[in-house]
Amino acid sequence: MEELQHVFQGTRPEGAEQVQIWAGFRAYNRFDRYVAGIKGGLQDDVYLMRTGYMGTDEFMGVRPLGFHPVPGEWYSMKVEVCGNRIRVFVNGGEGTVYRRCGQKCQSGSFG
């Protein structure tokens, strides 16, 4: 079984209007990849999606963060892929998104 763990941190400068932090993983090329992100402002959510060439994008999930992200603070995100499951953790577990992909979360090709 193929596994992946991607951990990163991000922040927005103090004085910014809102917090948005995005990261791609399992990229096949510049068009085909998975993307996870947090968005704070009017909506405080964590997102998971797959982008694809020629309109094969797929929105995979959104969950409330449970807190309001503030510019100037650092936030950590961890993405875990195991077989057909993708999990996204923010700050150690807040705002977890859980998603089962079809047969397997694709890594080498999209279709």
Residues contacting residue 21 through CB under 8 Å, at least 6 positions apart: 10, 11, 12, 37, 38, 75, 77
Contact yes or no for 46/90 (Cβ under 8 A): yes
Say which DSSP state 17 is in: S
pLDDT by residue (tens digit) across 75-97? 999 988 887 788 888 988 745 56
Q: How is residue 13 annotated by DSSP?
A: -
Residue-level pLDDT at 54: 81
Residue with the bigger pLDDT between 15 and 31: it is 15
Q: Which residue has the higher pLDDT, 11 or 58?
A: 11
Query: What type of residue sits at position 68?
Result: H
φ/ψ of 63, rounded to 5, equals -140, 150
> pLDDT (tens digit, 9 = 90+) per residue, 27-67?
788 888 889 999 998 889 999 988 888 878 888 888 888 89
